[in-house]
Amino acid sequence: MLHYIWLIPALPLIGFFILAVTAGRLPKLVAGAVGTASVGLSMLAVLAIWVQVGFTPLPNGGYTEVLWQWMSVGGFTPTISFYIDHLALIMMSVVTFVSFLIHLYSNEYMEDDASYSRFFAYMNLFVGSMLILVMAANLLFFYVGWEGVGLCSYLLIGFWYNNAAFDQAARKAFIVTRIGDTAMAIGFFLLFNSLGTLNIQELMHRASTAWVTGQGMAIAGSALILGGAVGKSAQFPLQVWLPDAMAGPTPVSALIHAATMVTAGVYIIARTHVLFQLAPAIQLLVAIIGALTLLIAGFSALGQDDIKRILAYSTISQIGYMFLALGVGAWSAAIFHLMTHAFFKALLFLAAGVVIHAMDGEHDIFKMGGLRKTLKIAFWPFLIGSAALTALPLITAGYYSKDLILTDAWTSQNGAWWLWVMGIVGAGLTGLYIFRAVFVAFFGEARRAVTHYPKLRVVIPLCILSFLSIVGGFVEIPPHLGDIAAFTTFMASALPTVLLTTQPVPSATLAWLQIAAGLVAFGSIAMAALLFARRAPLFNMLARSRGGRAIKQFYAVGCGFDWVYLRALKRPYWRLAEIDRNDVVDSFYTAIAALTRGCYYMLSATQTGRLRWYATGIAAGAVAFVALAVWR
């Protein structure tokens, strides 16, 4: 059975191939069916693997399936091969499952779009690439998937390419992530150069035996991989692309820019966790980046009026939590939050999509309102998703995963109280910004009539994801509340368990930490109600003051990163380009071209068309060669 795991990424790619070759000639029903069914079959294949190996640990922790050798250059022999362990299995499940639901949703959601088939082609290519990324056994093959998802992200952000602003957003996403990808590629070169392999498991093994903790090469390698992860996962300082990426269709935002692709950075850090353990400084940097990002993004989300941009900043912030968890060595907690986040963030985006459809494409939450009554089918999922995002205690999946991260941030060996404080402030911000959206968009009186109600294919994914946003966290329940550790146990074969501090934290402290987290969640909702419910009188008063307006503006532009980058990087670059208008470097190559053309003109002059001149040429050549033979 495991021999057929290549089918899992192959099926969506076959779907892509069919849709790409037919180039939109298929009827919409068939195109949607091909796109959805290929992903659905892939999901079933993952399910089959679960049945076989999900509940028993794999021998040696993982299974490698080598398909063929890719190339052989000197000692460099990368293979096309897949590696699955419990970490990959969780990722594969999340990717295929959420993808399938979002494909189903898109069947209806994109129905009125002229490029229906193209949409599914891109989405399938994305799913295939993402699965390659997750399942690749060596870093080179991994990089294929990594760049594949980057390409799909670019294509889907710019899906409506007639809009110049969307194109701009697509290019921005591509270029910003490319910065990180370049760093990552250099990191791979470095690792191969010093350890002589790109096979991930072999690499980890060699690194742990050949290097000591804190060695320069380990620090350089992990820092460069972190660079790639930061770009892909939209972390500080490369987070600027993700809010603009909301230009893509809403299912794309849900799938690529919330649930799966942006978490690839978390995945690769977890995959190469051995390197990060060998470089404690970089691991701390991961935690700091995560903590900073979650705060910056949380504040930025407060200033947004566009419902999708709120969710985008919230995604950045939640991935910040995952980075925080990775940084403190809570590997499985990061993956746990990745999973629950995939559920509730996809849910939020899909519900937002329903709202946007119902409002005729309106994104501004201040132009909505009263949807609680008029659009119940979007309200309840959005509320459940918001509750999970806020980590409302006990009843939501988000609580269990975020609480695990916060607890580990305090109690683990690499953790610190100030990381916990940053995390808890971020948690408060989370509740504030998402319930701001809830109160403004769904409560109060209606400002616009609902024009469009979703049908079955949209409702089913919403229901399933709502369900999972609630129960998805029950696989890991903290000691005080029931003490289930199914997820951590499951992950134990792939990821090390979190190292706690040497003197054990008293259980009372743990309990207080959890109570504090719960209180913050409720408090933030209450605060949001106070500020934003009923036409937001208090908020309006604050916002009208001079300082309030400045702060709102500051948040609205995402804490000014775009502003800084424009002045620090883009403008100087444009100025350089302006100076080098005639392209100094190119002149060498144009000179070669000119020389070639000159030679061509000279030689074409010899093509007189006169037979006797040709004969003379031959004779002269004969004379010359005989002369060479004689007086050599």
CB of 595 to other proteins, least distance (A): 19
* DSSP letters spanning 228-244: HHHHHTT-TTSTTHHHH
Tell me if 608 contacts other proteins by CB under 8 A.
yes
Q: Indicate the residue among 508 and 605 with the shorter CB distance to other proteins.
A: 605
What string marks each residue from 559 to 598 as x (binds other proteins by CB under 8 A) or -? Answer: ----------------------------------------
CB of 620 to other proteins, least distance (A): 7
CB of 627 to other proteins, least distance (A): 6
Among 56, 209, 582, 607, binds other proteins (CB under 8 A): 607
| Token pair belonging to 488 | 């951590």
Please report where in the chains the tokens 């993700």 appear, as a residue: 242
Q: Indicate the residue among 504 and 617 with the shorter CB distance to other proteins.
A: 617
- Kindly report the CA angle at 98 between 96 and 99, in degrees rounded to 5? 60
Tell me if 620 contacts other proteins by CB under 8 A.
yes
CA-CA distance, 108 to 147, in Å (whole number)? Answer: 29
- Kindly report the CA angle at 213 between 209 and 219, in degrees rounded to 5? 105
Residue 14 burial (CB < 10 Å; 0-12/13-18/19+)?
Answer: middle
Q: Indicate the residue among 164 and 624 with the shorter CB distance to other proteins.
A: 624
Of 262-270, 326-334, 428-436, 615-623, which segment contacts other proteins by CB under 8 A? Answer: 615-623
CB of 625 to other proteins, least distance (A): 10
Of 79-87, 330-338, 509-517, 614-622, which segment contacts other proteins by CB under 8 A? Answer: 614-622
Residues in the chain: 632
Question: Measured in whole angstroms, how far is the alpha carbon of residue 475 from the centre of its chain?
Answer: 24
CB of 622 to other proteins, least distance (A): 7
CB of 597 to other proteins, least distance (A): 14
Residues in contact with other proteins, total (CB under 8 A)? 18
Tell me if 599 contacts other proteins by CB under 8 A.
no
Among 3, 579, 629, 632, binds other proteins (CB under 8 A): 629
CB of 600 to other proteins, least distance (A): 10
Of 10-18, 50-58, 92-100, 612-620, which segment contacts other proteins by CB under 8 A? Answer: 612-620
Q: Indicate the residue among 501 and 608 with the shorter CB distance to other proteins.
A: 608
Sequence-ordered list of residues with C-beta below 8 angstroms from that of 598, at least 6 positions apart, any chain: none
Tell me if 626 contacts other proteins by CB under 8 A.
yes
Which residue type, as a one-letter code, is found at position 211? W
Of 22-30, 248-256, 360-368, 607-615, which segment contacts other proteins by CB under 8 A? Answer: 607-615
Decide if 340 contacts 469 (C-beta within 8 A): yes
CB of 200 to other proteins, least distance (A): 59
CB of 603 to other proteins, least distance (A): 8
For residue 83, the SS3 value is strand
Q: Could you give the residue ranges of the DSSP H alpha helices within 84-163?
A: 86-109, 116-135, 139-157
For residue 329, the SS3 value is coil
Write the DSSP symbol of residue 259. I
Of 88-96, 256-264, 419-427, 619-627, which segment contacts other proteins by CB under 8 A? Answer: 619-627
Decide if 470 contacts 388 (C-beta within 8 A): yes
CA-CA distance, 130 to 91, in Å (whole number)? Answer: 10
Tell me if 456 contacts other proteins by CB under 8 A.
no
Is it true that the peptide bond before 506 is cis, omega within 30 degrees of 0? no
Tell me if 604 contacts other proteins by CB under 8 A.
yes
CA-CA distance, 547 to 553, in Å (whole number)? Answer: 10
Q: Indicate the residue among 577 and 627 with the shorter CB distance to other proteins.
A: 627
Q: Indicate the residue among 566 and 620 with the shorter CB distance to other proteins.
A: 620
Please report where in the chains the tokens 């919409």 appear, as a residue: 28
CA-CA distance, 304 to 311, in Å (whole number)? Answer: 9
Kindly report the backbone phi and psi dihedral angles of residue 480, in degrees, each rounded to the nearest multiple of 5, phi listed first.
-70, -25
Of 162-170, 245-253, 546-554, 603-611, which segment contacts other proteins by CB under 8 A? Answer: 603-611
Decide if 195 contacts 205 (C-beta within 8 A): no
Tell me if 623 contacts other proteins by CB under 8 A.
yes
Tell me if 73 contacts other proteins by CB under 8 A.
no
CB of 594 to other proteins, least distance (A): 20
The two beta strands, 476-477 and 62-69, are: unpaired
Tell me if 612 contacts other proteins by CB under 8 A.
yes
520 CB-side CA count, 13 A: 24
For residue 606, the SS3 value is helix
Tell me if 501 contacts other proteins by CB under 8 A.
no
Of 151-159, 212-220, 276-284, 601-609, which segment contacts other proteins by CB under 8 A? Answer: 601-609
Tell me if 541 contacts other proteins by CB under 8 A.
no
476, β-bridge pairs: 485
Q: Using CB under 8 A as the criterion, which residues of the chain lie in contact with other proteins when the complex forms?
A: 604, 606-612, 615-616, 619-620, 622-623, 626-627, 629-630
